[in-house]
Structures are given as structure tokens and as C-alpha cells.
């Protein structure tokens, strides 16, 4: 892509782990509008999965993914093999100390180090002007912004709003794990977020009281189990006790064995 850069073309980059859905193709379309050429990576990154996580059963669909990339006007698809991407001597990890803590970072130790390591390596290979990430992974977006800021990377990071099913479920590759009953139960994530937003709109400012509203909603669904429910500064992700500025509600909930995340701006 260096030749394209030299010709003055603006390179957009969308890193993914494949099994692409409308959330990913939306990122590609937004990238296509902002850039002259779009590159996509498809790589199920082993370094961001914990030992007990779903790396081996993570869904894959190479042919479908390539077709979706073509339809979305993507010029280059990079699909490395793990052994070539991380050769035996590979030993460097990138760690964003503070923003990686809490939320998904607490539940998945080492996860964000795996994300920042792969994303920095992909940035170096793709050399994009602009990279596109979904806001559904809100903490991931904040962690990558922090890495780009701290390491002075010459890349614009653009967050793209979450794409949802008509009934409000955020699109995720992991939704494929849900049985039809669990698919129905999964709507509790959206309801819990809406309950927090409504609570704030009615004047409640205590973070504890607001998160209790979500917990009560989730407790009403037998197959749902809270991993975390938090409210945080929408820019820094610092946890809030009082909701008195731009605030994001974030949650992770197990529906059966499947862990789903979602978030919503509540103030
Ligand atoms: O969001 C994802 O799919 C992954 O975390 C990413 C950014 C592609 C890194 O592997």
C-alpha cells in the first residue's frame, strides 16, 4: 500500500476477526466514503483470547467474508496465518496501562494487551491514514485511541455507531452462539441500558442507583447473569459515582454460556 500512499491516496483500514456482519460492512462503507482505498484484515487473534475462552470455536466463514468485503468495495483483504503473524521468536506485547483496566479488562485479563499488540502490528503493516472501529466495543475503542495518542501514531481513529437488529440487539459475531430462546433473552442488554438512560432522564444521579436499575432488569431473566454493569466518563472511561457529565453505561452479560457486551450514552 506504500505505492498507493505515495500516489497521494488516502488509505482506510478496518481490522476484523472475520465472520463479518452488517456492523463490519458498515465500518467498510464508512471507510469507503472517507478514503480512496480500503484495506480489511481478517485474523482471529489468539493473543486476545484467555485460556478458557472461545478461540477454537470462534466462528469463521472465509468465502462469505471475502464476498462481503468485495461487495463493500474493499480493495485489499489481509488474512495472515497465526504461525506467520506470530513466529516462534515473537515476544513483544503492547500494553495500555490505565484504560485497559476495569470493565472487560477486569473480566478478561490480558485481553486488551492482545488487542493493542495485534492492532499496532496491523497498523504497521497496513500503514493506513485512518482506521475504523465499532463503538459497540467501547472500551476497545478507548484503549486504541490511548495507544495512538501515547505512541504518536500518525493515524486517525474513527469510531462508528453500533449497528443493531430492528429489536435493538447489537450485532456481534457471538450472537451466532445463541439458541432462539437465548436470542430472545439477549434483548435484556438493551432493556437494561434503556432503564439506566430513563433513570438519568428522570433525574437520578447516583451511579449505584442507576446500575441497580440495570441489575434488576437483568435479574428478571433466568438465563442471564451479570458480568459487569458500570457507568463511566464517556471520554476517559473513568468510573463515576455521580453522573454529572458525559456518561456512558457499559455492561457485559452472560446469556447461557455466551458473554455479550453493549453500551449506551446516558448523559
Ligand atoms: O474488534 C475486533 O474484532 C478485534 O478486537 C480487533 C480490533 C480486530 C483486533 O483483533
Please report where in the chains the cell 496501562 appears, as a residue. 97
Q: What angle, 0 to 180 degrees and rounded to 10, lies between the N-to-C axes of helices 138-150 and 111-126?
A: 60
Range with lowest mean pLDDT among 2-6, 57-61, 221-225? 2-6
pLDDT at 23: 98
Give the length of the chain. 267
Which amino acid residue places its CA nearest to atom 2 of ligand 1? Answer: 16
Question: The whole model's pTM is what?
Answer: 0.96
Average pLDDT of 150-175?
Answer: 97
Residue closest via CA to ligand 1's atom 1 equals 16
227-260 burial code (b ≥16 CB/10 A, e <16)? bebbbbbbeebeebeebeeebbbbbbbebeebbb
Quote the pLDDT of residue 159: 98
Per residue in 65-81, pLDDT (tens digit) is 999 999 999 999 999 99
The reply to whether 24 belongs to the active site is yes
The per-residue pLDDT for 2 is 76
How confident is the model at residue 5, as a pLDDT? 86
Residues 6 or more apart in contact with residue 207 via CB below 8 angstroms: 230, 231, 239, 240, 241, 242, 243
Task: Please report the atom of ligand 1 found closest to the CA of residue 16.
Answer: 8
pLDDT, tens digit, 9 for 90 and up, residues 84-135: 999 999 999 999 999 999 999 999 999 999 999 999 999 999 999 999 999 9
17 lines ligand 1 (CB under 6 A): yes
Rounded Cα gap, residues 61 and 67, in angstroms: 10
Options 21, 24, 111, 184, the catalytic residue: 24
What does pLDDT average to over the chain? 97
Amino acid at each position: 500500500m506504500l505505492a498507493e500512499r505515495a500516489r497521494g491516496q488516502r488509505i482506510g483500514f478496518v481490522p476484523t476477526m472475520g465472520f463479518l456482519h452488517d456492523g463490519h460492512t458498515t465500518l467498510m462503507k464508512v471507510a469507503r466514503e472517507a478514503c480512496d482505498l480500503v484495506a480489511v484484515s481478517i485474523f482471529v487473534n489468539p493473543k486476545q483470547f484467555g485460556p478458557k475462552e472461545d478461540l477454537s470455536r470462534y466462528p469463521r466463514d472465509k468465502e462469505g467474508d471475502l464476498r462481503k468485503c468485495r461487495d463493500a468495495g474493499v480493495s485489499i483483504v489481509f488474512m495472515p496465518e497465526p504461525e506467520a503473524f506470530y513466529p516462534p521468536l515473537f515476544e513483544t506485547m503492547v500494553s495500555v496501562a490505565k484504560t485497559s483496566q476495569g470493565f472487560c479488562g477486569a473480566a478478561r485479563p490480558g485481553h486488551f494487551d492482545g488487542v493493542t499488540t495485534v492492532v499496532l502490528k496491523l497498523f504497521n503493516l497496513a500503514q493506513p491514514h485512518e482506521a475504523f472501529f465499532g463503538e459497540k466495543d467501547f472500551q476497545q475503542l478507548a484503549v486504541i485511541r490511548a495507544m495512538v495518542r501515547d505512541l504518536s501514531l500518525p493515524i486517525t481513529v474513527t469510531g462508528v455507531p453500533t449497528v443493531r437488529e430492528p429489536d435493538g440487539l447489537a450485532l456481534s459475531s457471538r450472537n451466532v452462539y445463541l439458541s432462539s430462546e437465548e436470542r430472545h433473552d439477549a434483548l435484556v442488554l438493551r432493556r437494561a441500558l434503556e432503564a439506566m438512560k430513563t433513570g438519568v432522564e428522570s433525574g437520578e444521579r447516583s451511579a449505584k442507583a442507576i446500575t441497580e436499575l440495570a441489575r434488576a432488569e437483568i435479574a428478571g431473566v433466568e438465563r442471564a447473569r451479570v458480568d459487569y454493569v458500570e457507568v463511566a466518563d464517556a471520554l476517559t472511561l473513568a468510573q463515576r459515582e455521580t453522573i454529572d457529565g458525559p456518561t456512558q453505561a457499559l455492561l457485559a452479560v452472560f446469556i447461557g454460556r455466551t458473554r455479550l457486551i453493549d453500551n449506551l450514552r446516558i448523559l
